[in-house]
């Protein structure tokens, strides 16, 4: 090319007739698509389905706990149901929820790329996830499993339930997670648009980057652990089984070396969404950009050093217990930095309290409670008292549900107009958010109290003094159920007859808001050029839509 490319503004086309949802309508074009947006949508539908399954299991558990003794299911069924609730929510819902669903749809767009680096691998990840999910469904159909989602040995080597098919399913899904992580790291390194230097990346991208590093480094260890567990059950290799001379505590070390970092796979992407929501709805440059970006990486790093805090009462050495407790407190630093920066971003901002922002604020409340109770649990002397009680259950539900699920819902509402092209009913969204907030606290606050009074987790029966608190908790779970049904209702209504969404309904500045809603099939019909950071609200919006011609005629692009 002899002539220099011309930098000009490319305004988004409002309400386009052709977009990624309808440019090819055949079933095959969905099932075999390599388009990251369609793959992300298929993930989204899957994780929502499994959230529903896990949620129904949770409602059944809470209903059983209405009575101190048997209510409507026997103890064996109860053990299977709490195991399935944990396994489904963790491996099938929360791990893929933000990265594989929302991340897949928006990561390439926010980078100004046409797709992830390895689109076919991305599709393969999805089908590997589906394959793993089928194994877990098979396991459920064949009696389920009653070991708890941690599959601790020696019980998991002797339990009569369908352990092999469940752990094999989780093993397979691990590869899906690894491949997604690899794909994201390469995409962030190699596919950024001209001008999009690391210091101008949206913070959601930074959080996905930190998450992907954990996925790549931790998940293979889970894979080998589960493989060894399967071998233990089939061949009796004796590494973890004390009856054969093995060591069950070694299993716990192996398992938590993955599963502790894995909780950061679950929460760090949520941090990224919150950064986007708070900056966008405060109309203000984010406070402490680098502090937030690097605190994600710091969490990813420190997360690898604290796995032993799950094992304070397992019989590991006192010295390692003290060291792990000490290191655990360090996780509080980067997390505290984030909370401080988010609050400082809101300070003197022009806050627009739309439903996504409402979720972000609720996240700040709930996650802070979850985080501070985590510090309590990290303290050795307190932990001995609270270990394996409902206090732990409440703590991680505040972090995982109050944190990740609320952020996921915030992100879902935030980006919903972008990928569906439809607005939702804002009033109903606000009502649902408030219902969820009330229901959530009703369900889990009493569990802190019960736990500190000595109610053990996972127990089928309990003494009568806990009945009132258990019943509060159960009623809370119904309120939560109503809130989710309302969300489901208005989102379906939005798809059916929602108002058409403009390209930038919230006035965002990152690249996904500079293209049509829904997005064009190849995201950009030009090469976007980035001049300003994603939170530079003081700059004219026209300067966020710059680009150069990509050398393709547009008719050719449409022919794909």
Partner 1 sequence: MSHTDATHSNSHLQHHFVDSDQQFDSAKLGMWLFLVTEILFFGGLFVAYIVYRAWNPELFTMAATQLDTVMGGINTLVLIGSSLTMALAIRAAQTDNPSASIKYLASTVALAFVFMVIKYFEYTHKFELGIYPGEAYSFTGIDHPKAHIFFSIYYMMTGLHGIHVIIGIGIITWLIIKTRNGAFNSSYYTPVEITGLYWHLVDIIWIFLFPLLYLID
The Cα 412–Cα 3 span in angstroms is: 43
C-beta of residue 340 within 8 angstroms of C-beta of residue 409: no
The Cα 129–Cα 135 span in angstroms is: 10
Strand partners, 527: 548
Q: Using the rule CB under 8 A, which residue among 48, 56, 164, 216 binds partner 1?
A: 216
Q: Which stretch binds partner 1 (CB under 8 A): 221-229, 260-268, 348-356, 457-465?
A: 221-229
Q: Does 431 bind partner 1 (CB under 8 A)?
A: no
Q: Quick one: 137 or 221, whose CB is closer to partner 1?
A: 221
Q: Please give the span between the terminal C-alpha atoms of the chain, in angstroms, as a whole number.
A: 24
Q: Quick one: 250 or 445, whose CB is closer to partner 1?
A: 250
Closest distance of CB 251 from partner 1, Å: 10
32, two tokens: 């075999």
Distances, alpha carbon 275 to alpha carbons 94, 204, 239, 401, in Å: 19, 7, 44, 18
Q: Which stretch binds partner 1 (CB under 8 A): 63-71, 210-218, 290-298, 501-509?
A: 210-218
Q: Does 351 bind partner 1 (CB under 8 A)?
A: no
Q: Quick one: 185 or 546, whose CB is closer to partner 1?
A: 185
Number of neighbouring beta carbons within 10 Å of residue 40: 24
DSSP letter for 13, please.
P
Closest distance of CB 250 from partner 1, Å: 6
Q: Quick one: 52 or 304, whose CB is closer to partner 1?
A: 304
The Cα 257–Cα 325 span in angstroms is: 15
106: nearest Cα among 4, 179, 227, 203: 203
The Cα 323–Cα 303 span in angstroms is: 14
Closest distance of CB 209 from partner 1, Å: 12
Q: Does 525 bind partner 1 (CB under 8 A)?
A: no
Q: Using the rule CB under 8 A, which residue among 134, 141, 244, 343 binds partner 1?
A: 244
Q: Quick one: 112 or 439, whose CB is closer to partner 1?
A: 112
Q: Does 223 bind partner 1 (CB under 8 A)?
A: yes
Q: Does 247 bind partner 1 (CB under 8 A)?
A: yes
Q: Quick one: 194 or 502, whose CB is closer to partner 1?
A: 194
DSSP letter for 350, please.
-
Number of neighbouring beta carbons within 10 Å of residue 551: 9
Q: Quick one: 97 or 225, whose CB is closer to partner 1?
A: 225
Q: Does 250 bind partner 1 (CB under 8 A)?
A: yes
Q: Which stretch binds partner 1 (CB under 8 A): 148-156, 224-232, 339-347, 462-470?
A: 224-232
- Beta-carbon contacts of 36 under 8 Å, excluding residues fewer than 6 positions away, are 104, 105, 107, 108, 115, 116, 119, 122
Site for partner 1 in 87-146 (CB under 8 A): 108, 113-119, 121
Q: Does 297 bind partner 1 (CB under 8 A)?
A: no
Distances, alpha carbon 188 to alpha carbons 103, 332, 436, in Å: 12, 27, 35
Q: Quick one: 72 or 127, whose CB is closer to partner 1?
A: 127
Number of residues that bind partner 1 (CB under 8 A): 45
Q: Using the rule CB under 8 A, which residue among 228, 293, 394, 409 binds partner 1?
A: 228
Q: Where are the alpha helices (DSSP H) in 24-147?
A: 27-31, 36-64, 75-87, 95-96, 104-111, 119-141
Residues in the chain: 560
121: nearest Cα among 192, 181, 44, 209: 181
75: nearest Cα among 87, 59, 89, 61: 61
Site for partner 1 in 372-391 (CB under 8 A): none
Q: Does 190 bind partner 1 (CB under 8 A)?
A: yes
Q: Does 183 bind partner 1 (CB under 8 A)?
A: yes
406: nearest Cα among 43, 97, 121, 162: 97
Distances, alpha carbon 27 to alpha carbons 31, 32, 49, 421, in Å: 6, 9, 20, 20
- Per-residue contact track with partner 1, 30 to 69, x per CB under 8 A? ----x-----------------------------------
Q: Does 178 bind partner 1 (CB under 8 A)?
A: yes
Residues that bind partner 1 (CB under 8 A): 34, 108, 113-119, 121, 178, 182-183, 185-187, 189-191, 216-221, 223-225, 228, 231-232, 235-239, 244-247, 250, 254, 522, 527, 560
């Amino acid at each position: 090319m002899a002539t220099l490319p011309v930098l000009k503004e490319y305004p988004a086309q409002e309400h386009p007739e052709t977009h990624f949802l309808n440019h090819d309508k055949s079933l095959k074009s969905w099932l075999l698509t390599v388009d990251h947006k369609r793959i992300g949508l298929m993930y989204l539908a899957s994780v929502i389905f499994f959230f529903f399954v896990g949620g129904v299991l949770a409602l059944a558990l809470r209903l059983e706990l209405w009575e101190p003794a048997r209510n409507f299911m026997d103890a064996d069924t109860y053990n299977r149901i709490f195991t399935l609730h944990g396994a489904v929510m963790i491996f099938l819902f929360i791990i893929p929820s933000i990265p594989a669903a929302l991340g897949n749809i928006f990561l390439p767009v926010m980078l100004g790329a046409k797709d992830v680096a390895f689109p076919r691998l991305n599709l393969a990840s999805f089908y590997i996830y589906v394959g793993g999910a089928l194994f877990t469904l098979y396991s459920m159909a064949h009696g389920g499993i009653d070991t708890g989602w941690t599959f601790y040995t020696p019980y998991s080597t002797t339990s009569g339930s369908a352990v092999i098919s469940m752990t094999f399913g989780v093993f397979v899904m691990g590869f899906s997670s690894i491949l997604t992580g690899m794909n994201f790291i390469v995409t962030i390194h190699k596919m950024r648009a001209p001008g999009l230097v690391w210091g101008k990346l949206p913070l959601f991208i930074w959080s996905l980057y930190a998450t992907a590093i954990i996925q790549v480094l931790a998940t293979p260890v889970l894979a080998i652990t589960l493989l060894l567990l399967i071998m233990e059950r089939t061949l009796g290799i004796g590494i973890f089984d004390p009856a054969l001379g093995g060591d069950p505590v070694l299993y716990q070390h192996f398992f938590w070396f993955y599963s502790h970092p894995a909780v950061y796979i679950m929460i760090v992407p949520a941090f990224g969404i919150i950064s986007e929501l708070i900056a966008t709805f405060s109309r203000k440059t984010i406070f402490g950009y680098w502090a937030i970006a690097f605190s994600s990486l710091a969490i990813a790093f420190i997360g690898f050093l604290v796995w032993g805090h799950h094992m304070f009462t397992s019989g590991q050495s006192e010295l390692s217990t003290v060291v792990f407790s000490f290191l655990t407190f360090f996780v509080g630093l980067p997390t505290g930095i984030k909370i401080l920066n988010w609050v400082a971003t809101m300070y003197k901002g022009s806050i627009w309290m739309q439903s996504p922002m409402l979720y972000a604020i609720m996240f700040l409340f709930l996650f802070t409670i979850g985080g501070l109770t985590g510090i309590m649990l990290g303290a050795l002397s307190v932990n001995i008292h609270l270990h394996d009680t409902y206090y732990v259950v409440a703590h991680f539900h505040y972090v995982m549900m109050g944190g990740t699920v609320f952020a996921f819902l915030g992100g879902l509402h935030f980006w919903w107009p972008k990928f569906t092209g439809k607005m939702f009913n804002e009033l109903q969204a606000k009502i649902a958010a408030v219902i969820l907030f009330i229901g959530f606290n009703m369900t889990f606050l009493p569990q802190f109290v019960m736990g500190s009074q000595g109610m053990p987790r996972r127990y089928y029966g309990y003494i009568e003094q806990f009945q009132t608190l258990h019943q509060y908790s159960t009623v809370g779970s119904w309120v939560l159920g109503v809130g989710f049904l309302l969300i489901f209702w208005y989102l379906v209504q939005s798809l059916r007859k929602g108002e058409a969404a403009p390209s930038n309904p919230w006035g965002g500045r990152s690249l996904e808001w500079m293209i049509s809603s829904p997005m064009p099939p190849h995201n950009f019909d030009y090469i976007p050029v980035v001049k300003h950071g994603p939170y530079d609200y003081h700059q004219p919006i026209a300067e966020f839509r710059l680009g150069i011609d990509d050398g393709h005629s547009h008719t050719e692009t449409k022919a794909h």
